[in-house]
Amino acid sequence: MGPSGIVDVSARIDRRFLILFTVMLTIAAGNTALQSVLPALGRSLGVADAGVAAAFSVSALLWVIAAPYWANRSDRSGRRAMILLGMTGFTISLLLCGVFLTAGINGWIGGTAAFGLFIAGRLIYGALGAAAPPAVQALVAGSTTTDERTKALTLLASAFGLGTIVGPAIAPYLVLGAVGGVEIGLAGPAFMGAVFGAGMIVAVWRILPDDSLPARQGRGTMSAYPSIGGGPTGATVAASLGRDAPTPEPVGYLDPRIRGWMITGLVMGHAQAIGGQAIGFLVIDRLNLPPIEALEPTGLVLIMGSGAALLAQWGIIPLLNLQPRQLVLSGLALAAVGSVLTGFATSLYGIATAFALACLGFGFVRPGFTAGSSLAVGAEAQGSVAGKVTSVNGASFVLGPSIGVGLYAANHTLPYLVAGAGCAVLIVYAWRVLR
């Protein structure tokens, strides 16, 4: 066994590590499952598409603000307490969201009021849900040897990526009928997510030991907001390892060494968020489906997109062994073509294939942006740069969804043309600036 029984020398996964992995998977899957049904929910309740986008933008904003605080707090407080706090916030948020949406579905309150209360429930998720990932990372980082740590943290980070596949995959099957004369319908994924969250609270409480500061501190780092299209990049792994540097060096976003990479990551992230948030509405409108019947096609499109991104990061990139600049340039080209094709696609096959191509491209760009930023600085600045990378990844999902849905309201093709044009312009910038 490792120092506290998380991972042993042979990297065997024991039940404590499995619990930590499942915590991360549950957070990502629960968020993306709800995100995948929200376009249909909004249309069913007569809520403006912009209001649907705002529901996730506000929680993403709070996540970006709260995550650094919880990351620092996780370095001072007991890890289990922070994990329990994050999972409690996750569970209460989903439970309240389910109640508010049920009230709207059954006509007890108006659709706009239901969504306003839904957004209030999402604030709890954004504020408290961000407490769990830094504590999970810190617990693993502080409970493994140097040789084990990178492998364990990389495996842990992959849980978010898997969650973006699992969430949309199971969401259509979590839509419930009437319970006790009350129609649950599309609020089902919220209630079922709360059930899974409650189960994880019990599992963490029973299996993880009550702790104060562990003898070997690991670093708690900010995790990007778990959203459709946001896969693992390795930034949190680098940040967790960054504390090993003898004299940490703070690095600003506009530091000449990383400025080009930061701009690339920010523009790329917004292009991805713009297209990703509008995809549920595109499926409903292009296929001319009632909202409830669009759930499975939407889930299929999202699964193909997330699967393509993970295929790039877990399979193709290691095989090709491309350098960061090559990853960014080739990925942007694929993303630009895929985004434009998505905008003009008229069939489920066309939308799913084009969206997968765009996500494949973004799956190249994200690790290229992460690795390029890391290689631009020395060992003493790795923790600071990794924090900046994670912050940029999260910030993209604050305004990106609202911009995408706003463009979609003007013209259904527009968000994908804007995303494709942004990637094309970024190719020119990256070619000239990135080294």
Give the residue among 201, 225, 192 at the shortest CA–CA distance from 88. Answer: 201
Cα-trace Rg, the chain: 21
HEC states along 243-295?
Answer: HHCCCCCCCCCCCCCCHHHHHHHHHHHHHHHHHHHHHHHHHHHHCCCCHHHHH
Q: What percent of the chain is predicted at pLDDT more than 90? A: 47
pLDDT tens-digit map of 265-313: 999 999 999 999 899 999 999 999 998 899 999 999 999 998 998 888 8
80's CB contacts (< 8 A; 6+ apart) are: 135, 139, 204, 205, 208, 209, 210, 211
Give the residue among 100, 410, 405 at the shortest CA–CA distance from 280. Answer: 405
Query: What angle (nearest 5°) sits at the alpha carbon of residue 97, between those of residues 93 and 99?
Result: 120
146, burial (CB in 10 Å: exposed 0-12, middle 13-18, buried 19+): exposed
Mean pLDDT of 356-365: 94
Q: Which long-range contacts (CB under 8 A, 24 or more apart) does 254-260 make?
A: 255/377, 257/376, 257/377, 258/373, 258/376, 258/377, 258/385, 258/388, 260/429, 260/430, 260/433, 260/434, 260/435
pLDDT at 232 (0 to 100): 57
Checking if the pLDDT of 237 tops 70, the result is: no
pLDDT at 75 (0 to 100): 66
pLDDT at 12 (0 to 100): 42
List strand residue ranges (DSSP E) for 181-268, in order.
182-185
Single-letter residue type at 230: G
**What is the band of 211 on the pLDDT scale with cuts at 50, 70, 90?**
low
Using CA atoms, how far apart are residues 419 and 421, in angstroms rounded to an integer? Answer: 5
From first CA to last CA, the distance across the chain in angstroms is 42
Residue 13 structure tokens: 């996964």
pLDDT tens-digit map of 326-358: 999 999 999 999 999 999 999 999 999 999 999
Backbone phi and psi for residue 178, each to the nearest 5 degrees, phi listed first? -80, 140
Give the residue among 72, 375, 127 at the shortest CA–CA distance from 243. Answer: 72
**What is the band of 159 on the pLDDT scale with cuts at 50, 70, 90?**
confident
Give the range among 68-72, 336-340, 419-423 with minimum mean pLDDT: 68-72
Give the residue among 151, 156, 211, 144 at the shortest CA–CA distance from 6. Answer: 144
**What is the band of 4 on the pLDDT scale with cuts at 50, 70, 90?**
very low
pLDDT at 228 (0 to 100): 67
The residues with which 179 forms a beta bridge, in sequence order, are 182
Residue 413 structure tokens: 């093709």
pLDDT at 56 (0 to 100): 80
